[in-house]
Structure 1
Amino acid sequence: MKLLLLFIAALLTAAGIASYTAAESGFVLITILDWTIQTSVTFFLTMIIVIFVLIYFSIRMFLQIWDAPGELRRWKKQRRQQLSGEYLSRGLLALVEGRWKAAEEALIKGVRYTNNPLINYLCAARAAQRQGKIAQRDQYLGLAHAGNPDAKIALGLTQAELQIGQQQTELALATLTHLHEQQPKQKQVKVMLLKTYTELEAWKDVLQLLPELERTKLLSKENIIAAQLQAYAGLLRETGSNANKRQLVNVWSTIPKRLRRELHLLEVYTTEKLKFADTEECEPLLKQALKIRWDVEIVRLYGLVEGKDPVRQLVFAESLQAGHARDPVLLLTLGRLSMRNSLWGKARSYLKECIEIRPMPEAYRELAVLLEKQGDYSAAASYYQQGLSLATAVARHDSVKLLEQAEEEVTIAAGARQVV
């Protein structure tokens, strides 16, 4: 288009000159050796312009032909970039939509058109894992590492995340530990280490890592506290399961006071202490907690622990009836404490009232034990049977709910596979 405009401009210029010189007489005489050329001024000027235009276009054409290979290379480069972007966009879109096979195919096709296939391989590894192709996933990760040896952190984090998603938690821990040794200040590695330690229930490692996460503000204060509570609770259960009473007490003493006030930790500690039939120290802790706030689980545990003074323990429990007189868990606790004080009639009354309000297997059992102590074996057997039937029904109901939930999850998963 530019060349055409230039050519038209040259013609218009020549026409203008011809028009201007038409009225003028005169000629041009050129002598070269024995050659003499004579022509009009108009024709001479016109020929000068025509020759200039021809030379100009010849030079332009020569330069274009000379630059043709470079132009072809630039076109091919642009075309490769365009195809690379198209395949990457198509693959990422399919990945987001859950079309794993289509995502993998598009991403791998795009590898041949890109100079940096890191993202293609990493995303293809995710798509392969969602299809259960673990060997293919590892192959993509290996290719990504071979092509980008400097991207160790990105590769390692992706590999660990995929390993966690595939329940390969031990392998993920090894990957993250290696990364942490190489880059101890890398933030995301620390966050994923916390997640992996939690999955493995390595509570001591969690507690060791949390101060660093808190200091660098990688987690909010609320998340730090939640992680601490979870870790200490897990450590208490782990110690209790190992039947180490002294170690259980030591763990409890290492918990910061501000966290020992948390009802959840107090529940876990008391539950584990009950395994050793040594709960005297727990009674004042539970009592203090109930003075501050009502909690049904703490009330239940208060009826199971044995304090120094069972009479005062019962008196305090009865004081909780203000505002909670018909709470079935409180009535169960009062029944248990009354039995511990040999107040059989009061215990029987509390337990029967509990059963009337809400039948519970524990209440039936306690009432059966009470009747057995009083020699009423027939009635005791009846309550044992009723409690067992109720416990069986509750267990069956819970099992049915779990089965229905599992079936629903399987149905959803099957539907997702059909969509893919």
Structure 2
Amino acid sequence: MRTWFWTLLLAVVAVALAVVLRSHSGNVLLLVWPWRIEMSLTLAVLLIVAGFVVLYVGLRVLAWLLAIPDRVRVWRGKRAQARDHELLERGWISLLEGRYSQAEKDLTRLLDQTKVQTRRVLAALSSARAAHGLSEFDRRDRFLASAQEHAGADPGLLEATATVSADMLLDQGRAERALAVLAPLADGGARHLHTMRLLLRAHAALNHHDQMFSLARALVRRNALPRQEADQLIDASGAARLRAAAANDGWRAIWKDLKAEERLLPEIALAGAAAFEAAGEAGEAARVLEAAIAVKFNPALVAAYARCDASQVSRRLARAETWLQSRPTDPELLTALGMLCLNGQLWGQAERYLLRSVSRRNDAQTHALLGSLYDRLERPADAVRHWRLATAASMALPVLATDAALPAADTGSDPYRVDAEGGYAVGLADLDDETGPVSGYAALPPAAVAADYVLDPDARVSKEQRDRALAPEDAPLAGGTSDFDEYFDSAPLPAAAFEDPVPTYAPAPPAAAKPAAAPAAPVPDTKPPFKNDGAH
């Protein structure tokens, strides 16, 4: 628009000048001693315009020639800036993609070649981030030191260096060092949201509950922290503050400082109720737990509500039964009601609630409570059964599966036998003697008691299998064989041994007389060597 304006203006001036010169003809006389120059007015005006144009063009050309060094300097700067931007862009793209080696390579080149302070700091911090991604912490610390050196006294660059350093130190697990790096920012009154988040992470890692509580409150007030995460931090730190101050009775001031919605958080409610209980204010503790349970039904709160003195049982039981109307199948609530009835010695109601709870969930605590109840009612069989079920519910007991291998050999005649199966080795000859059990072994329970510890119903052997396993073995071979030969001859031979006899390397002894119950199939006269088939 500006160009068009000047063009139009010059055209108007030219037309006006031409009209004036055409209507006013005359001569122009120039006296330049020793010359006398006379010309028309039109020619004089044209010469003046031409001289102006020539002078203007000459001056512009001269200025352009004199500005060549500056233009070259600017061109070099722009080219260097373009190279820096290219390296920075490529390095950051690689860093965001997770290609840390390539990112560190490009950013290190940028750090070495750039002359701008801010780009040096940015390149050093980015290189430190890439080295941190490669777990090269020594190299990362060198880049951070370089960034701090190039930052100089610039407060913005120093704050950027501190926040990046603290972030990486927190990722590494060095919370104390990160807190020391952030200390100047905190002391200087920095209220940047990212700095406050880093301070919160550092204090949370070091369990500084007072600082955690104040920072979480400040961040949630500025909508800089999700409400759920803030509630978890406030809940944990507030409960820890209450427990720490419970010893010196300073917890009351902390409790009064809490907001109404903060007192309803589960951990804070548990800690506050415990503090009131310790101070002898059971009624206030019950009110704290009731208010928290009304907001969120938490099993820990319900269990704490059920732990009370006998004087509180009737009130708490009535309140818990109102909760049962809206949650009739909740096993946690049923267990809590059973505990309240046990505290109040209401045995029938306690049994009913606990049995309803255990029918919906196999819980070790509920079984243990039933065992204690039946023990108080002098029903030892039921008490032992529920204690066993509590043990089975709290830990994984082994499952004894049926063995499909060959039956074990009779080790009753081995004088050096070591019984490795303890109470499950029933029916052996050395345990059936009239002299009683072997020295060093306790009397074994009946086989039915041992079967109670088998969790898999399919693993229980039938009565026919147990009778066959406990049946007496055949009479030993005649001919005066040694105890060693008799011990290994008692193991049954597989059917393949009768079809393909196992070769022996000892001279064949004379054939011994066969017992009456020997099989009809031909048996080789040679004794097979010892074969460890896993049955001994």
TM alignment of 1:335-374, pairs within 5 A:
335-374=338-377
Shift of 1:129: 0.8
- 1:147 corresponds to which of 119, 143, 150: 150
**Correspondence for 1:83:** 83
Shift of 1:127: 0.5
- 1:386 corresponds to which of 381, 386, 389: 389
Q: Secondary structure at the match of 1:256?
A: coil
Q: 1:79 to 1:384 in 2, by over 3 A?
A: same
Aligned-partner Cα distance in 2 for 1:372–1:277: 31
**Correspondence for 1:262:** 265
Structure with greater helix share of residues:
1
Identity %: 22
Aligned-partner Cα distance in 1 for 2:306–2:191: 49
Q: Secondary structure at the match of 2:369?
A: helix
Aligned-partner Cα distance in 1 for 2:244–2:188: 36
Asked if 1 retains the 8 angstrom alpha-carbon contact of 2:209 and 2:241, the reply is: no
Question: Match of 2:307, as an amino acid?
Answer: L
1:49-106 residue CA offsets vs partner (Å, 9 max, x unmatched): xxxx9xx99x979x86x87766654443333222211111110000000011111011
Question: Match of 2:82, as an amino acid?
Answer: Q
Shift of 1:311: 2.1
**Correspondence for 2:179:** 173
1:276-332 residue CA offsets vs partner (Å, 9 max, x unmatched): 998554223223445566554433332223474312322322233223222211211
Asked if 2 retains the 8 angstrom alpha-carbon contact of 1:280 and 1:305, the reply is: no
**Correspondence for 2:315:** 312
Shift of 1:158: 1.0
**Correspondence for 2:223:** 219
Aligned-partner Cα distance in 2 for 1:284–1:78: 73
Aligned-partner Cα distance in 2 for 1:371–1:346: 13
Q: 1:177 to 1:308 in 2, by over 3 A?
A: farther
Aligned-partner Cα distance in 2 for 1:258–1:267: 14
Question: Match of 1:348, as an amino acid?
Answer: E
Q: Secondary structure at the match of 1:321?
A: helix
Q: Is the aligned partner of 1:110 residue 2:113?
A: no
**Correspondence for 1:182:** 188
Number of residues paired by the alignment?
A: 337
- TM-score w.r.t. the length of structure 2 is 0.55
Most deviating of 239-248 and 375-384: 239-248
Aligned-partner Cα distance in 1 for 2:167–2:88: 21
Question: Match of 2:289, as an amino acid?
Answer: L
Unaligned runs of 5+ in 1: 1-52, 395-420
Aligned-partner Cα distance in 2 for 1:130–1:167: 14
Q: 1:136 to 1:290 in 2, by over 3 A?
A: closer
Larger-gyration structure (1/2): 2
Q: 1:244 to 1:356 in 2, by over 3 A?
A: same
Question: Match of 2:336, as an amino acid?
Answer: T
Question: Match of 1:163, as an amino acid?
Answer: L
Q: 1:124 to 1:160 in 2, by over 3 A?
A: same
TM alignment of 1:12-411, pairs within 5 A:
73-111=73-111, 112-116=113-117, 117-149=120-152, 150=154, 151-209=157-215, 218-220=222-224, 223=227, 227=230, 230-237=233-240, 240=243, 244=247, 246-248=249-251, 251-270=254-273, 281-290=284-293, 294-306=297-309, 308-393=311-396
RMSD between superposed Cα atoms in Å: 3.7
Aligned-partner Cα distance in 2 for 1:132–1:369: 55
Q: 1:307 to 1:80 in 2, by over 3 A?
A: farther
Q: Secondary structure at the match of 2:139?
A: helix
Q: Secondary structure at the match of 1:335?
A: helix
